[in-house]
Amino acid sequence: MQITERLESGKYYHIYNRGINSENIFKENRNHEYFLSLYTKHIDPIAETLAWCLLKNHFHLLVRIKTFDEINK
């Protein structure tokens, strides 16, 4: 069973994920670049990124979800 929570605008979140059994999720530099291109396309429009760290087997993001006014600009 998957539990999902709604992210609230104006709130800060530490988002992280890692590979299964700590396996690498970024095996080559181009994997980092691809991740960041998708991040820019899908996350930048709705969240302000305050800090990020991409390691070989996991990543951390510190974001603030934008308000509806900020998103609609």
3-state secondary structure string, the chain?
CCCCCCCCCCCEEEEEEECHHHCCCCCCHHHHHHHHHHHHHHCCCCEEEEEEEECCCEEEEEEEECCHHHHHC
Q: Domain coordinates of the chain in residue numbers?
A: 12-72
| Residue of higher predicted confidence among 1 and 7 | 7
pLDDT tens column, 44-66 = 999 999 999 999 999 999 999 99
Task: Return the structure tokens found at 70.
Answer: 């900020």
32/57 Cα distance (integer angstroms): 11
pLDDT tens column, 25-44 = 999 999 999 999 999 999 99
